[in-house]
A and B are shown apart, each in its own frame.
Chain A
Amino acid sequence: MNEPQYGWWLPPNVSVSGDEVDNLLNIIHWFMLVLFVGWSIFIVYCLVRFRQRPGHVAIYEPIKAAFSKWLEVGVGVAEVVVLIALAMPAWAAIKNINSQTPTDPLIVRVVAEQFKWLFHYPGRDGEFGRTGAEFFSDDNPAGLDPDDDVGVDDITVRGLHIPVGRPVIVRLNSKDVIHSFKIPVMRLTQDVVPGMEIAVWMQAKDTGKFQVGCAQLCGIGHYEMKADFVIESPKDFQKWLDEEHAYLGLDDE
C-alpha cells in the first residue's frame, strides 16, 4: 500500500480510464493558457502603444474588418477541434465502457444515506439478497429482506474495497436525497438520484488506500459523508471478504 501523494494539481490516478481524462484536462488547460497569454500580450501592447499622450490621436477606423476575423475563426476552430477530436471520443469511450458489460465484473451495490455510504457485496453464494425500500430500518441499512435466506451471507460495510485490475460495476442507490459518488483518484463522479439506480463502471490499475466522498450538498453532514476506498491485490481482497464473512458469525450456528 503506497501512501498517495496529493498536491496542487491533479491527484494521483489509479483508474485505467483516468489517463484519457487527465490528458484532456491538460491539453485544454494548455490551450487556455496559450490563448490567455496571447490576449494579455495584445492588451499590454495596446495599452503602451496607444496610451493617451500629447500629439497622439485615435484612428477612426484603424483596421479593416477583414483583419482579425481569423482570430475568432481560429478560436472557433480550436473549440470545434477540442469538441470533435477530443471530447466526443473520450466521452463515447467512457460511455461505451459503461454500457458494455465487462468480463467477470465485481458488482457492488451502494446505498447512499444522510450522511454515510453503505457498500453491499454479495456473499459466498455470489448473489444479492432481495432488497427493497420497505425493509430499510436502523438495524437494516441495506434494506435486505429479513425473510430472504439468499441475503443472509451478504456483506454490508461502510468502506469500499475492490481488487486491482478487475472491472467493478457500482450500482448507486439513494435512500433520501441526491448525493454524488466521487472518487478523485478514479476520476469518477456520479450523482446518486433517489428513485433510480445508476450503474457506473471502474477499473483500478494500482493498489492503495483512498477516499470516497460526496460531491452534492446533501445536508448538515455532507462534509462528513466519506468512506474508505481500498484497492487491494485479488489475494488481499479475498482475505478481506473472508474476514467480513467471519464477522457475520454464520459458521458458529
Chain B
Amino acid sequence: MDKRPILVAACLVVLLPAMGGSEDVKPWDPALGTATITGSVKFEGKKPRMRPIDMAGADEKCAELHGGKRLKPETVVVNDNGTLRNVFVWVKKGVEGWSFPLPEGNALLNQKGCWYLPHVQGMRKGQSLAVRTSDPTAHNVHGYAKVNRPFNRSQPPGAADIMIQMRRDEAGPPMKVKCDIHPWMNAFVAVVDHPYFAVTGPDGSFELANLPPGTYTIEVWHEKYDVMEQTVTIADNESQTLEFTYPKKK
C-alpha cells in the first residue's frame, strides 16, 4: 500500500507551521470579538437516495437499540426546509494573528447503537478526541488521518474512552473515522486551531460569533459535495449573512 502521499503531507504540515510560526502571534483579546457571520447551506436538485442499513443481520446487539427502525446513512441529509445537514463551516483564512485559549474538556465521539454521534464535528487543535463506546458489542475505531497520526484501536464493550490528542490542523478535508467491525459506521472530525467553526444542523444554518473585524475566507465542506468558499469583510459589531448552495454549479 502506498503511504508516500501521507508521508509527504505529514512533512509539509510539520514544516509549514514552523515557517508560519516566525510571524508574531498575539494572545487573543476577547474584547475584539464583536462581529458575527451567520448563514445557511441550501440544497438544490434531486436528493440522492440513501439505502436503509440492516444492522440486525450482522449484529443483533446493534439493532436492539433502534427497535425495528432502520437508519439511513448520514452522507446526504436534506432538511425539510431544503437545507443540507452535516456541512462543516470554518474560517479558513483571516484569524492567523491570534492564539486562542483552549476550551476545557475533550471533543466526544460516542458510539451508540453502532452509530457515531455526532456524524460531523469540529474540534480544537491540541484538544483530545475522546472515543466512547456505549454499546454491548466490540468496536474498532479507525482514524484515517492524513495530517495527524492515523489511529486504529479496538474497543471492547465497557472499555474506557480512547483519547487521541490532535496535534495538527486537519480541516481541509476533515479526517474520516470508521469502525472496522461495522463498516456502515463512519464519522468526520475537523481539527482547527481557532474557535470559528460550526456544523449545520436540522435547520441547515450556522453562526460564527465573536469574530474580530477583518477579511475572512469562509469554507464549507461536505463529505460528498466537497468544498466551497466565500470571502467576506466585516467591521465592528457588524453581522453578515452568507448563503451557500450545494451541489456546486458546474
Selected contact of B140 from candidates A113, A146, A220, CB within 8 Å: A220
Interface class of chain A by DSSP: mixed
Q: Does B180 lie within 8 Å of A139, measured CB to CB? A: no
B51 to chain A, nearest CB (A): 6
B57 touches A228 (CB 8 A): yes
B223 CB to closest chain A CB, in angstroms?
8
Number of A positions contacting B (CB below 8 A): 30
A150 interfacial by beta-carbon distance below 8 Å: no
Q: Which residues of B contact A138 (CB under 8 A)?
A: 73, 75, 178, 183-184, 186
CB-based contact B54/A221 at 8 Å: no
A227–B62 alpha-carbon span in the complex (Å): 13
Main secondary structure of the interface of B (DSSP, over half): loop
Q: B54 to A141, Cβ gap below 8 A?
A: no
Q: Is A158 touching B180 in the complex (CB atoms < 8 A)?
A: no
**A112–B178 Cα gap in the complex (Å)?**
17
Contacts A115-B183, A141-B183, A221-B181 given: A156-B51 contact, CB under 8 Å?
yes
- Cross-interface CB contact of A219 among B51, B53, B58, B180, cutoff 8 Å: B180
Residues of B within 8 A of A115 (CB): 180-181, 183
Q: Does B5 contact A (CB under 8 A)?
A: no
Residue A182 CB within 8 A of the other chain: no
- When the two chains form the complex, which single residue of B49, B54, B75, B140 contacts A158, counting CB atoms closer than 8 Å? B54
Residues of B within 8 A of A171 (CB): none
Q: Nearest A residue to B176 by beta-carbon distance? A: A138
Which A residue sits closest to B53, measured CB to CB?
A158
Complex CA distance for A244 and B54, rounded to whole angstroms: 9
Residue A165 is within 8 A (CB to CB) of chain B in the complex: no
Kindly identify which residue among B53, B73, B180 contacts A220, using a CB–CB cutoff of 8 Å: B180
Asked if B227 is at the interface of the complex by the 8 Å CB criterion, the answer is no
* Contact between chains at B57 and A158 (CB < 8 Å): yes
> Which B residues are CB-close (under 8 A) to A219?
180
Pair A221/B186 contact, Cβ less than 8 Å: no
A114 and B58 contact, Cβ closer than 8 Å, known pairs A138-B73, A139-B75:
no
| Residues of chain B lying within 8 A (CB to CB) of residue A146 | 48-49
Q: Which residues of A contact B51 (CB under 8 A)?
A: 139-140, 142, 156, 248
> Which residue of chain A lies nearest to B63 when distances are taken between CB atoms in the complex?
A158
- In B167-182, which residues have CB < 8 Å from any A CB? 178, 180-182
Q: B49 to chain A: closest CB distance in Å?
A: 7
State whether the Cβ of B25 lies closer than 8 Å to any Cβ in chain A. no
| Nearest-CB residue, chain A, relative to B185 | A138
Give CA–CA (A117, B54) in the complex, Å: 11
Is A159 interfacial (CB 8 A cutoff)? yes
| Residue from A140, A146, A247 whose CB has the most chain B CB atoms within 10 Å | A247
A117 interface neighbour in B53, B58, B186, Cβ under 8 Å: B58
Q: CB < 8 Å: which of A142, A159, A247 contacts B57?
A: A159
Q: By the criterion CB–CB under 8 Å, are B73 and A158 in contact?
A: no
> From B137, which residue of chain A is reached at the shortest CB distance?
A224
Residues of A within 8 A of B102 (CB): none
Is the C-beta of B45 less than 8 angstroms from some C-beta in chain A?
A: no
A residues near B48, Cβ cutoff 8 Å = 146
26 A-B interface contacts by CB (under 8 A): A115-B180, A116-B58, A119-B57, A138-B73, A138-B183, A138-B184, A139-B50, A139-B73, A140-B51, A146-B48, A156-B54, A157-B57, A158-B53, A158-B57, A158-B59, A159-B54, A159-B56, A159-B57, A159-B58, A220-B140, A220-B152, A220-B181, A221-B140, A221-B181, A228-B57, A248-B51
What 7 A-B pairs are tightest by C-beta distance, nearest first? A159-B57, A158-B57, A139-B73, A158-B58, A139-B75, A157-B54, A221-B181
- Add 6 more A-B contacts to A115-B183, A159-B57, A159-B58 (CB < 8 A): A116-B182, A119-B57, A138-B75, A224-B181, A228-B58, A247-B70
Which A residues fall within an 8 A CB radius of B? Answer: 113-117, 119, 137-142, 146, 152, 156-160, 219-221, 224, 226-228, 244, 247-249
